[in-house]
Structure 1
Amino acid sequence: MSEEKVIVLQPKRQDFEEIYFNGNQGSLLFSSSTKGKMVTTLVVGLILIIMFVFKDDFTKEKFGILYFVSFLFLLCAVFLSVSINKVSRWKKQVNSYLTKLENCKVYEITFDQNFFTVNIDDEKETSEWKDFQYFDSNEKYIALEGKYSYMFPKKSMSERDYTLLKQTLKKNIKEQ
């Protein structure tokens, strides 16, 4: 593979959104990173509400439990808000990237024996093959992780180009 290969992608926002926001990934409260924290916060909140309803039955010694559960609820709410903030920032970055792709005129992948370059409207990111730690591929997309991280939907390129890219990545990078 001494010659340079070029794959031209036809990016459609919908193709990328299907992958990025698959399985509630874009949901602030029920994404994979916030769902557990949301459920925990709701359960602790429900316990706290029940304890407030029956607080008149507590003795002075047992009031510490109410304070402890209140502290747990506050702690859960803080962790949940941090996770929601992370998802919100990620979603904002993805939408910004998708808007950029939606308006781009040129989206090309160029590679040879030594280098891998992604060109989006003459903004080129070039990496050596050793800069990538791994890649993942399935029937919907190819993902690359390394100096730069990429995700290329299968729908954005021809079947022949998808196969060529997948084979080249297998040869140059270990698959996850």
Structure 2
Amino acid sequence: MSEEKVIVLKPERSYFEEIYFSGNQGSLFFSSTTRGKTVTTIITALILLILFLFRDEFSKEKSGILYFVSFLFLLCAVFLSVSINKVSRWKKQVNAYLNTLDRCKVYEIRLDGNFFTVNIDGEKETSEWKDFAHFDIQEKYIALEGKYSYMFPAAAMSKSDYQYLKKAIKQNMDDK
């Protein structure tokens, strides 16, 4: 694969949104990052509520349980808020990227045996194949991670271009 191949992508927002926001990934409380923390915080809050309702039944020695569970609830809430902040920042970055796609006129991938270049309206990012650490090829998209990270939906290109890109990535990533 020494000759340069150019793959033109259709920069339709819906193709990218379908991949980025599948499976509650954009949900602040129930994304894969925050789901466990949300459930833990809710359970801790319920336990704290029950303990608070029955606080008159505790002796002086057992009232420390209420303080301990309050501390656990506070800890869970802090971890949940940090995760929500992380998802919120990721969502904001994805939406900013999708907004650039809305205004995009040219979105193309240029690849040969040595280099992989993504051109979005004249802004080019060039990487050597060795710069990529990981790739993921699925039925609906291809993801490349490394110096720059990319996700290319299958729906944004022709079937033949998608097959060519899959083959080129496997060949060049296995040669590393």
- Fold conserved (TM > 0.5)? yes
* TM-score with structure 2 setting the length: 0.97
- The residue matched to 2:30 in structure 1 has which SS? coil
Q: How far 1:80 moved relative to its partner?
A: 0.2
Partner of 1:10: 10
Paired with 1:155 and 1:96, the residues of 2 have a C-alpha distance of 21
Paired with 1:34 and 1:136, the residues of 2 have a C-alpha distance of 23
Segments of 4+ moved more than 3 angstroms: none
Paired with 1:5 and 1:153, the residues of 2 have a C-alpha distance of 18
* Aligned residues between the structures: 174
Paired with 1:93 and 1:77, the residues of 2 have a C-alpha distance of 24
Q: How far 1:159 moved relative to its partner?
A: 0.4
Q: How far 1:102 moved relative to its partner?
A: 1.4
Paired with 1:83 and 1:138, the residues of 2 have a C-alpha distance of 27
Deviations 1:18-57 (A, max 9, x none): 1000000000000001000000000000000000100000
Partner of 2:118: 118
Partner of 1:172: 172
Aligned counterparts, 1:1-176, within 5 A: 1-174=1-174
Code of the residue aligned with 2:155 in structure 1: it is K
- The residue matched to 1:77 in structure 2 has which SS? helix
- The RMSD of aligned alpha carbons is 0.6
Code of the residue aligned with 2:83 in structure 1: it is S
Code of the residue aligned with 1:153 in structure 2: it is P
Q: How far 1:138 moved relative to its partner?
A: 1.3
Paired with 2:110 and 2:67, the residues of 1 have a C-alpha distance of 61
Structure 1 stretches of 5 or more lacking a match? Answer: none
Paired with 2:50 and 2:56, the residues of 1 have a C-alpha distance of 12
* TM-score with structure 1 setting the length: 0.97
Deviations 1:114-147 (A, max 9, x none): 1000000000000001001121111100000111
- The residue matched to 1:173 in structure 2 has which SS? helix
Structure 2 stretches of 5 or more lacking a match? Answer: none
